[in-house]
Amino acid sequence: MLRHSLVVRVTHWINAAAIILLLMSGLNIFGAHARLYWGDTGSVEQRDRQWLEIGASPPWRTPTGWIDIAGIRLDTTGFLGVSQSRTGSASFVAFPHWATLPSGRDLATARNWHFAFAWLLIMNGLLWLAHAIITGRLWREILPNRRQLSRAQLWHDIVEHARLRFPRGEAALSYAVLQRIAYAGVTLVLTPAVILTGLAMSPGMNAAWPWLDALWGGRQSARSVHFIAMVLVAAFLVIHLVLVLLSGPIRQIGAMITGRITVEARQ
């Protein structure tokens, strides 16, 4: 039977590509100034509202990479601050080459890619949202309904996830409550937040829409929230992929490519 419509499948895979490229180019962009602040301003000359920094410390023969979050410093040598370049030498970049696009320090190219795929993400997201609203899928499939939000249902779904037991048969044809909360959170909260904080870093957009950066408490706050939202999107991505792998990857991915799925007999 048909599980996913053509619009859902096409927008899903465009979204997948866009998000991965946005994450990677964004990590490269972050490397140009690996500090985060609250408020309107912040620079190496004005660090009173800095709350995060990624850096490296001597001795330079055996450097230490670290992340400093609100004064708590964690050693991240090999991953953040200092990592191995492709040639094996020590590279003093915030995120390692395998996580960024392009792999080397290149703010200009990273920005070109980030904005191109930001446009794609926005257009694709609007198409998905319009389709979800027009077909009613948003309420039927994405937003958790009142019955699902009961304490018993929530607890049941948490226990099922903890036991790695996934719905089968007819029950597998609609999303359970945790899944709906995750999808609704990513599509209706996190993605809009990422887009609006991204735009709030743009001096042109802030002049056009003065509420944009005010909404987040200033450009540097918007940059901080953009980063935090990125971490949450990345976390969703990891959990999503793990759950697909655990719940029958061939069937699941097949359904998202062909749109069709066979209903398994209940066990």
Partner 1 sequence: MKLPRRHLLGALPAGLLLSGCDALTRNATARSVIQSAEQATYRWQRLVGRNGLAREFSASDISPVFKVNGTREPTNPEWQRLAAGNFAEWRLTVTGLVNRELSLSLADLQRLAQRTQITRHDCVEGWSAIGQWTGPQLGPILRAAGLRDGARYIVFLCADDYGGEVGKGGLQSTSRYYESIDLVDAFHPQTILAHSLNNQPLSTGNGAPLRLRVERQLGYKHAKYLMQIVVADSLDPFGSGHGGYWPDRGYEWYAGI
| Part in contact with partner 1 (CB under 8 A); list of ranges 43-51, 57-65, 67-75, 76-84 | 43-51
DSSP 109-145: HHHHHHHHHHHHHHHHHHHHHHHHHHSSHIIIIISPP
Toward partner 1, which CB reaches closer, 151 or 153?
153
255 binds partner 1 (CB under 8 A): yes
Closer by beta carbon to partner 1, 87 or else 151: 87
Tell whether residue 256 is a contact of partner 1 (CB under 8 A).
yes
Residue 137, Cα to own-chain centre: how many angstroms? 23
- From residue 57, alpha-carbon distances to 16, 30, 54, 61, 69 in Å are 36, 19, 10, 10, 16
- The answer to whether the beta carbons of residues 177 and 157 sit under 8 Å apart is yes
| Residue 154 interacts with partner 1 (CB under 8 A): yes or no | no
CB of 5 to partner 1, least distance (A): 13
* Shortest Cβ 103–partner 1 spacing (Å): 5
| Count of residues that bind partner 1 according to CB under 8 A | 79
Per CB under 8 A, contacts with partner 1 among 165-184 are 166-167, 172-173, 175, 179, 183
Written as one letter, the residue type at 27 is L
Query: Are the beta carbons of 29 and 113 closer than 8 angstroms?
Result: no
Q: Which of 131, 137, 156, 251 binds partner 1 (CB under 8 A)?
A: 251
Of these, 52, 143, 188, 205, which contacts partner 1 (CB under 8 A)?
205
Which value, to the nearest 10 degrees, does the dihedral of the CA atoms of residues 175, 183, 117, 91 take? -110
Site for partner 1 in 47-86 (CB under 8 A): none
Give backbone dihedrals phi and psi of 199, rounded to 5 degrees, phi first: -65, -30
Q: Using the rule CB under 8 A, which residue among 6, 17, 159, 231 binds partner 1?
A: 17
